[in-house]
Amino acid sequence: MTSIVEIRNLKKQYAPTAGQKEGQLAVKGIDLMIEKGEIFSLLGPNGAGKTTTISMMSGLLPPTAGDVLIGGHSIVAEPMAVKKMIGVVPQEIALYPQLSARQNLEFFGKMYGLGGGELAKRCDEVLDFIGLKDRQKERVDSYSGGMKRRVNIGVGLLHKPALVFMDEPTVGIDPQSRRNILDAVKQLNQQGMTVLYTTHYMEEAEELSNRVAIIDHGEIIAEGKQGDLIQKVGEKDAILVKVGEDGQKAQQAVKEAHGVDGVTFSDGVLRILAGRGRQALPNVIKALSEAGVVIQSVEVKEPNLEAVFLHLTGRALRD
Ligand SMILES: Nc1ncnc2c1ncn2[C@@H]1O[C@H](COP(=O)(O)OP(=O)(O)OP(=O)(O)O)[C@@H](O)[C@H]1O
Ligand SMILES: [Mg+2]
């Protein structure tokens, strides 16, 4: 496997603000490796250090210590070589509101060194990709939040970068725009682009990426394939069975079922813990039927990245 990004002991301490003796240590010496061709998610709550990391990786903010190699080039020593390779979609929308989508793309395209027929062609392609061809001539300040987000993404793609950084591109938009953006990320990846995607939505990291790093208080607290992370924390599956009033009887019936590790009852719902929920499920249902318990609904919940975060920090991801 070839790495396209190597983050080495990357650190950022901001300058002290008024009243602070020492500046905020926002990124505390992180190491990460991103493989060519993958979608890698950096998952973490507000203030974890995601944007600070992305800003250093894209040359907007000098690191306090450490380095990042992108395609073998140092962001500190060879920033120009790095800039050619990367596209950046910042968290804060950076567009000219009085200009149209197309004018914004043309402006930023020129900054990337594109011009003439090539620029026009790329603008057409990008507008098509972000689904705004029909409305390209309207001013950006007349767009919805989701449309602005899409233009913001388009700007990052104009020069066909090998690697794109997307910093929370779906925050504050409607579900349909969010769906469009997630699908667009997958499509870009299928075309060969490597994507670094930051989010505080566990579901997005789960859907998009194979490998994930969880960042909290400026430190990487877990990193690897999702399945491995979940397995490592040793959380069990939970089978939730709605049984209404029959709690006592139901609990008794299920306790001895094969594959069941524990069972509790509250608010009309049995919560059954099992190492392998799907395998234990038929035994659970059989035991309940035999005891004459009426099952109103059944759900198997497998542990997710939220459980990993909770296990490692004792906090929910969206505190
Ligand atoms: N310019 C700055 N000067 C001082 N401190 C800063 C600055 N920018 C960010 N910070 C602090 O650094 C820490 C990390 O912030 P950062 O914006 O990187 O987090 P984040 O993970 O992107 O959060 P969010 O999900 O809210 O975007 C926070 O404690 C923040 O207050
Ligand atoms: Mg941020």
Cβ density class 112-147: b for 16+ within 10 Å, e for less = bebeeeebeebbeebbebbebeeebeeebeebeebb
d(CA 97, CA 179): 24
Q: Bridge-partner residues for 216, per DSSP?
A: 219
Q: Are residues 203 and 251 in the same domain?
A: no
Whether 303 shows a pLDDT value over 80: the answer reads yes
Q: Bridge-partner residues for 222, per DSSP?
A: 214
Q: Backbone phi, then psi, for 245, in 5-degree steps?
A: -75, -20
Report the pLDDT value the prediction gives residue 314, as an integer from 0 to 100.
84
Q: Are residues 163 and 245 in the same domain?
A: no
Q: Are residues 47 and 135 in the same domain?
A: yes
Q: Which of 231, 255, 278 is the C-terminal boundary of a domain?
A: 231
Any domain includes 311:
no
Whether 85 shows a pLDDT value over 60: the answer reads yes
d(CA 98, CA 157): 21
Give the mean pLDDT of 111-125: 94
Q: Is the CB of 49 under 6 A from ligand 1?
A: yes
Report the pLDDT value the prediction gives residue 245, as an integer from 0 to 100.
81
Whether 139 shows a pLDDT value over 80: the answer reads yes
Any domain includes 308:
no
Nearest residue (by CA) to ligand 1, atom 17, is: 51
Whether 136 shows a pLDDT value over 80: the answer reads yes
Each residue of 58-67: pLDDT tens digit? 999 999 999 9
Nearest residue (by CA) to ligand 1, atom 12, is: 26
Three-class secondary structure of residue 232 per DSSP: helix
Three-class secondary structure of residue 120 per DSSP: helix
d(CA 203, CA 317): 11
Q: Is the CB of 26 under 6 A from ligand 1?
A: yes
Share above pLDDT 70 across residues of the chain, in percent, rounded to a whole number: 99
d(CA 95, CA 82): 23
Q: Are residues 191 and 137 in the same domain?
A: yes
Q: Are residues 96 and 39 in the same domain?
A: yes
Share above pLDDT 90 across residues of the chain, in percent, rounded to a whole number: 78
Token pair of 314, please?
């004792």
Cβ density class 256-284: b for 16+ within 10 Å, e for less = ebebbeebebeeebbbbbbeebeebbebb
**Average model confidence (pLDDT) for the chain?**
93
Is residue 248 exposed (0-12), middle (13-18) or buried (19+ Cβ within 10 Å)? exposed
Q: Which residues contact 308 (CB under 8 A, 6 or more apart)?
A: 214, 222, 229, 230, 232, 233, 235
Report the pLDDT value the prediction gives residue 242, as an integer from 0 to 100.
94
Please identify every residue whose CB atom is under 5 Å from ligand 2, which is an ion.
50-51, 91
Query: By the 8 A CB rule, do 99 and 50 touch?
Result: no
Each residue of 242-299: pLDDT tens digit? 998 878 889 999 998 999 999 989 889 999 999 888 999 999 999 999 999 999 999 9
Q: How many angstroms is it from 213 CA to the middle of ligand 2?
A: 15
Rounded to an integer, what is the distance from CA 231 to the centroid of its chain? 20
Any domain includes 271:
yes
Q: Are residues 29 and 15 in the same domain?
A: yes
Give the mean pLDDT of 114-118: 93
Any domain includes 137:
yes
d(CA 233, CA 10): 26
Give the mean pLDDT of 43-48: 94
Give the mean pLDDT of 69-96: 94
Q: Which of 231, 254, 280 is the C-terminal boundary of a domain?
A: 231
Q: Is the CB of 12 under 6 A from ligand 1?
A: no
Q: Are residues 221 and 254 in the same domain?
A: no
Closest ligand 1 atom, residue 54 Cα: 18
Q: Are residues 13 and 156 in the same domain?
A: yes
Q: Is the CB of 14 under 6 A from ligand 1?
A: yes
Whether 18 shows a pLDDT value over 90: the answer reads no
Query: By the 8 A CB rule, do 86 and 70 touch?
Result: yes
Give the mean pLDDT of 36-55: 96
Q: Which of 10, 13, 14, 93 to mutate to test the pocket of ligand 1 (most atoms within 8 A of CB)?
A: 14
Closest ligand 1 atom, residue 51 Cα: 22
d(CA 6, CA 9): 10
Q: Are residues 121 and 268 in the same domain?
A: no
Report the pLDDT value the prediction gives residue 307, as an integer from 0 to 100.
85
Token pair of 113, please?
């060194």
Q: Are residues 188 and 270 in the same domain?
A: no
Each residue of 169-223: pLDDT tens digit? 999 888 988 999 999 999 999 999 999 999 999 999 999 998 999 999 999 999 9
Any domain includes 89:
yes
SS3 content of the chain, % helix, strand, coil (to 5): 35, 25, 35
Any domain includes 307:
no
Which range has the top average pLDDT, 37-46, 173-182, 302-311? 37-46
Provide the CATH number for the domain around residue 212: 3.40.50.300
Q: How many angstroms is it from 315 CA to the middle of ligand 1?
A: 19
The domain in which residue 202 lies consists of: 3-231
Provide the CATH number for the domain around residue 256: 3.30.70.980
Three-class secondary structure of residue 112 per DSSP: coil
DSSP, residue by residue, 141-163: GGS-HHHHHHHHHHHHHTT--SE
Report the pLDDT value the prediction gives residue 166, as an integer from 0 to 100.
97
Handedness of CA 7, 11, 15, 18 (dihedral sign): positive
Any domain includes 160:
yes
Report the pLDDT value the prediction gives residue 313, as an integer from 0 to 100.
86
Q: How many angstroms is it from 277 CA to the middle of ligand 2?
A: 36
Q: Is the CB of 90 under 6 A from ligand 1?
A: no
- 1 or 4: whose pLDDT is higher? 4
Three-class secondary structure of residue 215 per DSSP: strand
d(CA 3, CA 1): 7
Report the pLDDT value the prediction gives residue 275, as an integer from 0 to 100.
87
Report the pLDDT value the prediction gives residue 319, as an integer from 0 to 100.
54
Q: Is the CB of 159 under 6 A from ligand 1?
A: no
Any domain includes 310:
no
Report the pLDDT value the prediction gives residue 236, as an integer from 0 to 100.
84
Token pair of 162, please?
């090998």
Q: Which of 179, 210, 231 is the C-terminal boundary of a domain?
A: 231
Q: Is the CB of 13 under 6 A from ligand 1?
A: no
Q: Are residues 221 and 241 in the same domain?
A: no
Q: Are residues 128 and 194 in the same domain?
A: yes
Whether 1 shows a pLDDT value over 80: the answer reads no
- 103 or 309: whose pLDDT is higher? 103
Tally of structural domains, the chain? 2
Q: Is the CB of 46 under 6 A from ligand 1?
A: yes
Report the pLDDT value the prediction gives residue 301, as an integer from 0 to 100.
87
